[in-house]
């Protein structure tokens, strides 16, 4: 009947562009990826008006000859699937869709010169049509200019944010790509002003990555994070992970890479959530840079048009590797609180002291009794005996309690302020958790089994996890095709909404391949108990009690942040104090 028509090429490209090109940053991503694929060692990016007017990417990569230049803007033209299958993909691009998609929503000019050739050519795509093939003056690599973004798709244009915001998105994507390519120089200019200039380094191995992360993430991150490493079979994990105290209110700063490809993968982010579980409040997120190297046949990157998600053949192995290596790095880091906090403290100190200076002059007549150390006794001999030698203890020797809330201790290199409630709460929780993991978990047997109805596909999932859940104290069996009978539940939990719990569990298993909900709830019961059985702010402590707390903290994993991810102590180095007094 002629109702079904083959779509015009231009229209096909526009549809594809709808998936891939969302905003200027998407174009920057595609172009920079192409440059990386072309083995460039320097990439210069420039945008004007947040990329709406102009995006220009210049690289020194392998370039294209005249013939390739003319076909590269055609749909499904790619040089990257040489072995004609999608199994072993080692380049960032492989769909042959980026350039035609960009060409369908804006004008492009590409100049390129093939490696050792002397012939440089330029081609333009205007109104979606290839025109204007002419010689060019470019001496190396490829230069792509994208102008008047979305002028042919006004609806899209409307959705763009301010130039500033779009510019920041561009910078964010460059940062993301640059992290995994420390061997490439990156520069970025906005409206003619240089924003970034990151030079490559050749220190070898992880040092280069660290150097680049310092450039991209800032030194704060480097000093507030620890490195993580893991290897199993053909899979390698490496990266820098933020201390729990260095947390954010979204997962945006979790930079994950699979074979150097930046991804935003839910499974991986879920694994990180699991790894930081109990160290962070539920609405806080760690800052993480993590590289996963895996044989390319073990991972499918062709899942999502923007390639931001991947699928692993053995997801649960990856997951457990992440959880285990992150946990063990954090535990090894032990008593270390993010230096970001003490930096913040220092800046507060300095601004505070200037502000208070006047006030101090006016009313320094009365002595604040609160400042008299609460644990000093009148007997000088006794005091001497109470103090211990600070050296050899990471958290030093307790000197005094202030405001019956904080402990001040002196270490070899500075002083430490400890929040007594947060610290003790953490210790109690760790002990409780230890007790409850090593003890066989207690379960309450039900008088009347609780029947929970489930859809067929959920049934098979929950039954697969039956043994794991039993270990956590949730015992059930198959009742009929579409329901299970819960027979026992963890004695720690009361007033359970079984249907909700089971359904949440299935959702979590589908999403993250793990039974978080239950252990999280058990953890939160422990957490509440810990909070109630811990010493409070306002409780007066003796020097011995304070020292005991410090020694306990040194011996307990994860004791440097409380159950809500706040620090339990902060360190002020002598050099920080010297800065405060302008001595350095």
Partner 1 sequence: MKVSVNSSALLTALQHVHSVVERRNTIPILSNVLLEAKEQGIFLTATDMDIQVLESIEGKDTDITQMGTVTTSAQMLYDIVRKLPANIQVELFSESSAKLSIKASSTAFALNCLPAEDFPSFPSEDFKTSFEIKSSDLIRLIDKTSFAMSMEETRYYLNGIYMHTIEADGQSYLRTVATDGHRLARVDMNLPEGAGSIPGVIIPRKTILEIRKLLEDGKDKVTLSLDETRISCSFEKVKLISKLLDGTFPDYTRVIPEGNEKVVNVSNQMLLEAVDRVSTVSTDKSRAIKINVDNDNISITANNPDQGSASENLAVEYKGDRVEIGFNSKYVLDVARQIKGKNMVIKMSDPVSPTLVFDEEDKDALFVLMPMRV
Ligand X SMILES: Nc1ncnc2c1ncn2[C@@H]1O[C@H](COP(=O)(O)OP(=O)(O)OP(=O)(O)O)[C@@H](O)[C@H]1O
Q: Which residues bind partner 1 (CB under 8 A)?
A: 431-432, 435, 438-439, 442-448, 450, 488, 491-492, 494-500, 525, 529
Return the SS3 of 452.
strand
Pairing of strands 54-59, 142-147: antiparallel
Closest approach of Cβ 154 to partner 1, in Å? 48
Q: Please say whether the beta carbons of 556 and 338 come within 8 A.
A: no
66 forms part of the interface with ligand X (CB under 6 A): no
77 binds ligand X (CB under 6 A): yes
In sequence order, the 6+-apart residues with CB closer than 8 A to the CB of 289 are 179, 213, 217, 239, 240, 241, 255, 256, 257
Query: Residue for token digits 């048009």?
Result: 305
To the nearest whole angstrom, how small is the minimum distance from the Cβ of residue 80 to ligand X? 4
Pairs from 508-511 (Cβ < 8 Å, separation ≥ 24):
509/461, 509/462, 509/465, 510/461, 511/266, 511/267, 511/270
| Residue in 63, 239, 396, 490 binding ligand X, rule: CB under 6 A | 63
- Among the listed residues 27, 38, 290, 531, the single contact to ligand X using CB under 6 A: 38
Distance of alpha carbon 10 from alpha carbon 514, whole angstroms? 45
Closest separation in Å from C-beta 40 to Mg ion: 13
CB nearer to partner 1: give 231 or 555.
555
In the complex, least distance from residue 130 CB atom to Mg ion, rounded to whole angstroms: 18
| Residue 34 in the binding site for Mg ion (CB under 5 A) | yes
The interface partner of residue 61, options being Mg ion, ligand X, partner 1, none and the CB cut-off 5 to 8 Å by kind, is ligand X
Closest by Cα among 30, 52, 56 to 148: 52
Q: Total residues at the site for Mg ion (CB under 5 A)? A: 3
Taking CB atoms, the residue at the shortest distance from Mg ion is 93
Strands (E), 274-376: 285-286, 288-293, 299-300, 311-312
Phi, psi of 80 (to 5 degrees): -100, -10
Closest CA to 293 of 321, 316, 269: 321
Q: What angle, rounded to 10 degrees, do the helices at 24-37 and 163-179 form?
A: 30
Q: How far is 1 from 33, CA to CA, in rounded Å?
A: 44
Rg (CA), the chain: 30
Shortest distance in whole angstroms from residue 72 CB to ligand X? 3
> Of 113-152, which residues contact ligand X (CB under 6 A)?
142
Specify the length of the chain in residues.
Answer: 584
Q: Which of 24, 93, 128, 167 binds Mg ion (CB under 5 A)?
A: 93
By DSSP bridging, strand 285-286 and strand 247-248 are: antiparallel
Minimum CB distance to Mg ion, residue 97 (Å): 8
Q: How far is the CB of 436 from partner 1 (least distance, A)?
A: 8
* Residue closer to partner 1, measured from CB, 5 or 447: 447
Contact call for residue 64 and ligand X (CB under 6 A): yes
Name which of partner 1, ligand X, Mg ion, none residue 502 binds, using a CB cut-off of 5 to 8 Å depending on partner kind. Answer: none
- Of 71 and 493, the one with the shorter C-beta distance to partner 1 is 493
Nearest to 38 by CA among 60, 70, 67, 71: 60
Q: Is 34 in the site for ligand X (CB under 6 A)?
A: yes
62 binds, among Mg ion, ligand X, partner 1, none (CB under 5 to 8 A by kind): ligand X
Give whichever of 113 and 287 is closer to ligand X, judged by the CB atom: 113
DSSP for 415-427, please give it.
Answer: EEEEEHHHHHHHH
If one asks whether residue 180 binds Mg ion (CB under 5 A), the answer comes out as no
Which helix (H) or strand (E) segment is 248 a member of?
Answer: strand 247-248
| Nearest distance from C-beta of residue 264 to ligand X, angstroms | 17
- Of 79, 109, 328, 374, the one binding ligand X by CB under 6 A: 79
Position 35 contacts ligand X (CB under 6 A): yes
Interacting partner of 78 out of ligand X, partner 1, Mg ion, none (Cβ under 5 to 8 A depending on kind): ligand X
Options 9, 42, 66, 80; binder of ligand X; rule CB under 6 A: 80
- Contact indicator for 289, 217 with CB cutoff of 8 Å: yes
What is d(CA 378, CA 228) in angstroms, rounded to the nearest whole number?
50
> By CB under 5 A, is residue 61 in contact with Mg ion?
no
Asked whether the beta carbons of 461 and 510 are under 8 A apart, the reply is yes
> Taking the CB of residue 551, how many other CB atoms lie within 10 A of it?
14
Q: Which does 505 bind (CB under 5 to 8 A by kind): ligand X, Mg ion, partner 1, none?
A: none
Q: Which is nearer to partner 1, 378 or 495 (CB)?
A: 495
Hey, what are 103's tokens? 């060409």
Return the residue of 61, 167, 490, 513 that touches ligand X, per CB under 6 A.
Answer: 61
Residue 442 has phi, psi (to 5 degrees) of: -85, 140
List 27, 40, 98, 287, residue binding Mg ion (CB under 5 A): 98
Q: Rounded CA gap, 111 and 107, in Å?
A: 14
Tell me, residue by residue from 101 to 120, as one string, x for binding to Mg ion by CB under 5 A and - for no binding: --------------------
Q: Could you tell me how many residues of this chain bind ligand X (CB under 6 A)? A: 23
Interface positions with Mg ion (CB under 5 A): 34, 93, 98
Interface positions with ligand X (CB under 6 A): 30, 34-35, 37-38, 59, 61-64, 72, 77-80, 93-99, 142
């Amino acid at each position: 009947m002629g109702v079904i028509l083959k779509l015009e090429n231009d229209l096909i490209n526009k549809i594809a562009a709808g998936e891939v090109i969302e905003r200027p940053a998407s174009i920057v991503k595609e172009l920079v990826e192409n440059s990386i694929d072309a083995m460039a060692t320097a990439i210069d990016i420039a945008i004007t008006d947040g990329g709406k007017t102009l995006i220009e990417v210049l690289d020194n990569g392998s370039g294209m000859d005249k013939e390739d230049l003319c076909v590269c803007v055609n749909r499904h033209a790619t040089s990257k699937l040489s072995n004609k299958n999608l199994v072993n993909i080692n380049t960032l691009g492989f769909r042959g869709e980026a350039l035609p998609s960009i060409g369908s929503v804006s004008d492009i000019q590409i100049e390129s010169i093939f490696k050792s050739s002397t012939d440089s050519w330029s081609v333009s795509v205007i109104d979606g049509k290839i025109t204007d093939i002419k010689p060019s003056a470019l001496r190396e690599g490829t230069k792509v200019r994208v102008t008047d973004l979305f002028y042919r798709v006004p609806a899209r244009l409307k959705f763009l944010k301010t130039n500033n915001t779009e510019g920041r998105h561009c910078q964010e994507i460059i940062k993301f790509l640059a992290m995994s390519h420390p061997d490439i120089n990156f520069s970025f200019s906005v409206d003619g002003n240089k924003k970034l200039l990151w030079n490559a380094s050749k220190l070898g191995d992880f040092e280069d990555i660290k150097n680049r992360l310092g450039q991209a993430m800032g030194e704060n991150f480097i000093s507030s994070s620890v490195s993580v490493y893991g290897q199993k079979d053909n899979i390698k994990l490496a990266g820098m992970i933020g201390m729990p105290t260095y947390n954010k209110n979204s997962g945006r700063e979790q930079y994950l890479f699979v074979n150097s490809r930046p991804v935003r993968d839910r499974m991986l982010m879920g694994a990180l959530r699991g790894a930081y579980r109990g160290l962070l409040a539920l609405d806080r997120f760690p800052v993480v840079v993590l590289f996963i190297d895996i044989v390319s046949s073990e991972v499918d990157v062709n899942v999502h048009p923007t390639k931001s998600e991947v699928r692993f053949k053995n997801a649960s192995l990856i997951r457990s590797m992440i959880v285990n290596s992150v946990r063990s790095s954090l535990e090894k880091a032990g008593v270390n609180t993010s230096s970001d906090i003490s930096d913040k403290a220092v800046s507060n100190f300095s601004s505070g002291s200037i502000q208070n200076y006047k006030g101090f002059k006016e009313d320094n007549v009365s002595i604040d009794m609160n400042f008299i150390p609460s644990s000093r006794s009148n007997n000088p001999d006794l005091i001497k005996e109470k103090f211990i030698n600070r050296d050899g203890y990471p958290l030093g020797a307790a000197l005094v309690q202030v405001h019956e809330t904080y402990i001040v201790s002196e270490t070899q290199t500075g002083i430490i302020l400890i929040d007594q409630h947060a610290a003790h709460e953490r210790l109690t929780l760790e002990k409780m958790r230890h007790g409850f993991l090593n003890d066989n978990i207690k379960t309450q047997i039900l008088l009347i089994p609780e029947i929970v109805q489930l859809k067929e596909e959920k049934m098979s999932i929950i039954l697969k996890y039956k043994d794991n859940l039993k270990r956590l104290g949730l015992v059930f069996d198959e009742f009929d095709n579409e329901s299970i009978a819960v027979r026992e539940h963890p004695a720690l939990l009361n007033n359970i909404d079984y249907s909700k719990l089971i359904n949440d569990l299935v959702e979590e298993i589908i999403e993250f391949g793990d039974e978080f909900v239950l252990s999280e709830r058990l953890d939160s019961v422990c957490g509440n108990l810990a909070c109630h059985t811990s010493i409070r702010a306002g409780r007066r402590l003796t020097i011995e009690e304070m020292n005991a707390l410090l020694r306990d903290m040194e011996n307990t994993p994860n004791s440097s942040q409380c159950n809500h991810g706040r620090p339990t102590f902060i360190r002020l180095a002598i050099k920080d104090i010297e800065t405060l007094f302008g001595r350095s």
